[in-house]
Amino acid sequence: MIVVTGSNGFIGSNLIKGLNKIGYKDIIAVDDHNNSELKENIIHCEIQDYLDIDEFLSLLQKNKFDGTKLKSIFHQGACSNTMEWDAEYLYKNNFLYSKELLNLSIKSDTPLIYASSASVYGSGSVFVESIENENPINLYAYSKFKFDQLVRQALAENATQIVGLRYFNVYGPQEQHKGSMASVAYHLHNQLKDNDFIKLFKGSDGYSDGEQRRDFIYVDDIVKVNLWFMENKEISGIFNLGTGKSSAFNDVAQAVINWHQKGRVEYIDFPEKLKSSYQSYTEANISKLRKVGYKEDFIDVSEGVNLYLDTLESWPKNNPS
C-alpha cells in the first residue's frame, strides 16, 4: 500500500500516473476530493481508495494506521501559494499535517518522501542543502524550512527512510488549477494563444529585462526522482531537485514563441509588492543527489516546453471528462 497526499494536485497526480506505469495500483489518494477541478487530474489514475484530507488526518491522530503495512508515503499535499500570509492556515497545512505524517513514518518504519521547496533559500545565491544557506523570505518558505528542521532532527535519531526533495521551478501537465501559482510556461502559452505578444518583467536585482533566472524542472523528472528514492530505501536526507542549470525567463518565452510559431515579448514594470519576496535567481546544486547515485539526465527547458505544450493542446482528446 502506498499513500500519496496532494493526490489530485499537480505533482501528486503525475506521481500516481508514474506509479501506475510501473505497476503500483494499491494507492490511497489523499486530497480534497470535493474539488471537481482537481478531480480531473486523477480521474484516469488507478488507485485503491480516496480519503479526504481531514479524514486522513483524523485517522492518523487516532492511530488507525497502526499495524497497516505501508510501502511508502509520498507527501505532496500542501498550500503551495507563496503569497499566502495566513500563518495559522500555513501552520496547519504545511507543518502540522507534515508532522503527523513524520510521526507515522517513524512509528511504523514506513519510508516518507516529501515535497520541500527551493524557496527556503530565499534571496540567497548558494543553493546547497545546509542551514547556513537558508533564509526564507515569505511564510510559505518558512513553513517548509521549519519542517525541514524537524526532519533533520528525526534523521539524526531514526533509521527510517526520510527524504525531503527541495523542488525548484516545476512545470508540466496538470497544473492548470494552480491559477497565479502555475508555471511561467503555462501563463505565457495562454497569453500567446489569443495575442501576438507575451509579458515578462523588466529588469530587477541587477538583471536585465526578462533575464531573471530560475532552475526550471519538468514534472516527469520530479516523478522519476521520487520513484528512484522509493526503490532505494537505504538513502535518506534532504536533497535539491532541479536540473542543476538555470534558465532565463526569456529562454522560456522563446521556447513558447517557437512552439506557437508567432509572438514577441513585451516587458512590464516589476510589481512593487513582489520586490521583498521574489527570487530573481535559482540554480540547484545537485551534487548531493548525484553523490547518492541518481544518474539520469534532466530535460532542458526547450525540450520540456515543447513536451508540455504538446500535452496541453491534446488534453481534451487524451483526457475526456
Q: Which of 178, 199, 245, 288 is catalytic?
A: 178
Q: Which of 132-141, 206-215, 234-243, 306-315 has the lowest mean pLDDT?
A: 306-315
pLDDT by residue (tens digit) across 145-191?
999 999 999 999 999 999 999 999 999 999 988 888 899 999 999 99
d(CA 235, CA 131): 20
pTM of the model: 0.93
The domain limits of the chain are 2-172+216-243+283-298
Which residues have C-beta within 8 Å of that of residue 168, sequence separation ≥ 6?
118, 214, 215, 216, 217, 240, 241, 242, 243, 282, 284
Closest by CA to 9, choosing from 49, 42, 53, is: 42
Confirm if 47 and 27 have CB atoms less than 8 A apart.
Answer: yes
d(CA 144, CA 262): 39
β-bridge mates for residue 237, sequence order: 163
**Active site annotation includes 140:** yes
Q: Which of 140, 167, 171, 186 is catalytic?
A: 140
Q: Which of 243-247, 284-288, 311-315 has the lowest mean pLDDT?
A: 311-315
**Is the pLDDT confidence value at 320 over 60?**
no
CA 293 to chain centre: 21
Q: In the chain, what are the helix, strand and coil shares in percent, each to the nearest 5?
A: 45, 20, 40
- Cα dihedral 244, 245, 247, 252, rounded to 10, equals -70
295: phi > 0 → left, psi -120 to 50 → alpha, else beta; which? alpha
**Active site annotation includes 178:** yes
Amino acid at 17: K
Confirm if 7 and 53 have CB atoms less than 8 A apart.
Answer: no
pLDDT by residue (tens digit) across 41-63?
988 899 999 999 889 888 888 88
pLDDT by residue (tens digit) across 61-80?
888 887 778 899 999 988 66
CATH for the stretch 2-172+216-243+283-298: 3.40.50.720
Tell me what percent of the residues of the chain surpass a pLDDT of 70.
95
